[in-house]
Amino acid sequence: MNMELLAEIWQTARRNKLRTSLTGFAVAWGIFMLIVLLGAGAGLINAQRENQGEWVDNSMMVFGGMTSKEYEGLKEGRDISLNQRDIAITRTSFPEHIDQVGAIIYESSNTISYGQNYVLSNLRGVYPAYATIQKVKLKAGRFINDIDLREQRKVMLIGERQAKELIKGEASNLIGKNVKIGNIAFTVVGITRDNENEMSNDVITPFTTLRTIYNHGDNTDRIIFTFHGLTTEEQNEAFEADYRKALNRNHRAAPDDEDAVWLWNRFTQAMQMENGTAIIETALWIIGLFTLLSGIVGVSNIMLITVRERTHEFGIRKAIGATPLSLLRIIIVESVLVTGFFGYIGMLLGILTNFYMDYALGSKPIDTGLFQATVFVNPTVSIGTCVGVTVVLVIAGTIAGLIPAVKAARIRPIEALRAE
């Protein structure tokens, strides 16, 4: 490639502004749309994964429900409340699968005060295993331990924002201080990082302490546990049936009554999420590739017209001594430069649009009333993908111009001069 060839290509582009503009638009639009589509899909998928990343995947949560069948002379419609025996069954009856076991009990709308300052918050009594299963993030201090649970200590963890409200300063300064829950003093042992999900920002205390103070008897609101060795949906379904049967037996409910005890299996939910994600990603790629294909078709048509229009010019060049190779070189270089330049513009605009989407929507939660959820996170596409689709379109544009150019380069000068 030399300066004369570049100058000639530039002059040709200037003489045919509309044709060059249409070629460039087809290239830039195809790449732009593919990158934006993939970026938007990535943002939605990343947000979904972030929202569901609050619990470890190999975990389950158990809820009490309502019986839907008559059993042993008892009518349907009985409320089932989980109790201490259910926790014991979970801990001892399935050692081949169940690892850590915990439980949760709630007490709503309590006044938390320190000096003259106060906040309103829900209380959540938990086992030490809760920190691992729930992926609790500590800013300072420690979590509930076995001694707190066994001795029913009056200790608590509070969220960073609430701690700042109470102490009117750095949240970690509240550690070691005595804070009142109602009229009972609790010692702050930890500060948790705030979560966008407001339901996850409860004040945390030992399960046994909360249950005793608020007279919950041996009841519990939730049972949570981690498990291993269940890698397929079939294995999970079989385990759930056996586990539900064991708990139903404790409450004199039909063994196959799925409404008596509810199970939230994070593992199977994660599997379904991954399958759904794969479908979405495939659909986005198909749509994007069809968009890119439309750009390739547009470039191909324009290049065909370009070569046809220049057939007469090629005849003159061949008549004065130009070789077929030199004619091919003109078409190839022009095609590479035009598609490469506009492809780069399309890629740059696509990346900038993704950055704007991230700025405007990224990691911004939407308040549903009960909790907040993020709907768009990190809508980016890898540089490798961006460069790859640009190269594909450049190559496609070059091939589109090369095929008719070869035919034009082989034509005899006298025939080329007759071409209109």
The domain locations on the chain are 3-53+270-418, 59-267
pLDDT band at 374 (very low <50, low <70, confident <90, very high): low
Q: Where are the beta strands (DSSP E) in 243-309?
A: 261-265
pLDDT band at 33 (very low <50, low <70, confident <90, very high): confident
Q: Is the pLDDT at 129 greater than 90, yes or no?
A: yes
Do the beta carbons of residue 205 and residue 103 sit within 8 Å? no
* pLDDT, averaged across the chain: 84
Write down the pLDDT at residue 237.
Answer: 93
Write down the pLDDT at residue 97.
Answer: 95
pLDDT digits (tens, 9 = 90+) for 153-210: 999 999 999 999 999 989 999 999 999 999 999 999 999 988 655 455 789 999 999 9
pLDDT band at 35 (very low <50, low <70, confident <90, very high): confident
What Rg do the C-alpha atoms of the chain give, in angstroms? Answer: 34
Write down the pLDDT at residue 248.
Answer: 95
**Can you tell me the distance from the alpha carbon of 185 to that of 203, in angstroms, rounded to the nearest whole number?**
14
**Can you tell me the distance from the alpha carbon of 55 to that of 48, in angstroms, rounded to the nearest whole number?**
13
**What single-letter DSSP state applies at residue 363?**
T
Q: What percent of the chain has pLDDT over 90?
A: 43
Which of 34-43, 159-168, 243-252 shows the lowest per-residue confidence on average (mean pLDDT)?
Answer: 34-43
The whole-model pTM stands at 0.68
Which of 29-33, 165-169, 230-234, 260-264 shows the lowest per-residue confidence on average (mean pLDDT)?
Answer: 29-33
**Can you tell me the distance from the alpha carbon of 392 to that of 370, in angstroms, rounded to the nearest whole number?**
47
pLDDT band at 1 (very low <50, low <70, confident <90, very high): low
Do the beta carbons of residue 204 and residue 124 sit within 8 Å? yes
Tokens representing 418 are 């007759």
